[in-house]
Amino acid sequence: MLSIASEAGAIRPLSVTMASFPHNNRTFQILDAAAKGGFAVGAYNCYNDDGVLAVIRAAEAARSPAIIALFPWTMKFQGVHFIRFAVEAAHAASVPIAVHLDHCIEPADVEAALELPFDSIMVDASIQDEDENVKQCARFVQVANAKGITIEAEMGRIEGGEDGLPSVDLETVMTKPEAAKDFVDRTGVQFLAPAFGNIHGSYGPGGPEKCWNLPLLAKVHRAVGPVPLVLHGTHGVSDQLFHEARKNGCVKINLNKTVRNEYTRFIAESAGKLELTVLKEKGVEVYARSIERAMRDILDSAGKA
Ligand SMILES: [Zn+2]
């Protein structure tokens, strides 16, 4: 493939550099292709280099697009050099892989992230009241878009409280379809994470089946039209329910423990018994296998890159 080096030193396909925003943005391209192709793409939360390598290896093996999602924690604990490593490795892959910053709650973290080569950032002002959420998002959308970075925002965050029971009344934070349309229009965000009963952390008794309001998700999808929806709160969600979410507009699906549990188990059982080199090689292999399964069975993104 023809390519040129971008300012950040990463290699981007030539066709990409000639398109205009947001069509030249990697996360946008990946999600736009998914929406048009009838599949979804995983945003895999990575905490270390094993995670980054596992996503890249799984994506290349399955010929699937992917999104590496990092938290502000990574920016702070592992520093800017780790972010640059993740972006460089992702962009050098033989399939499209974007690097996204998930749940950026502190405005100072967004400011810091805007100086880094992220493809997209989730500005999470969902704990603020609606007006403040709109104001904060709109301001960051302007600055980020001017730098070629796309923005995801969330309306009404639901945290799993003690024993997985939501800490707020589910009904009060659910995204209203007309409010979603208004939010997208006023902020200009490229991707929207609605609250339709999806819970961060663990679901209580009855699981997501009991909490999710899929008809509401369908209405939000209709209200915001072509804006790709993002699914948060996926721990413990069945393959079938993932398919329901996809049918109702979710094209970016955040996956954390769903693809990380096997890896954690393997490391816990093998640490101290294997040489570190072998532990890492096998750990990444186990991790990548879980991701590949998601690409095939949950997302249908395998073979789409
Ligand atoms: Zn989330």
Instruction: Give the tens place of pLDDT for each residue, 213-252.
Output: 999 999 999 999 999 999 999 999 999 999 999 999 999 9
Check pLDDT > 80 for residue 10: no
**Which domain does 82 fall in, by range?**
3-299
Residue 124: active-site member: no
Distance 43 CA to ligand 1 centre (A): 10
CATH of the domain at 19: 3.20.20.70
* Dihedral in degrees, nearest 10, Cα atoms 139, 140, 141, 143: 90
Active-site hit among 50, 102, 119, 300:
102
Helices and strands of the chain, counted as H and E runs:
14, 10
* Dihedral in degrees, nearest 10, Cα atoms 240, 68, 95, 247: 30
pLDDT of residue 184: 96
In a domain, 120, yes or no: yes
In a domain, 104, yes or no: yes
In a domain, 304, yes or no: no
Distance 233 CA to ligand 1 centre (A): 6
pLDDT tens-digit map of 144-186: 999 999 999 998 777 765 555 556 666 778 999 999 999 999 9
Distance between CA atoms of 98 and 69, rounded to whole angstroms? 8
In a domain, 106, yes or no: yes
Domains contained in the chain, number: 1
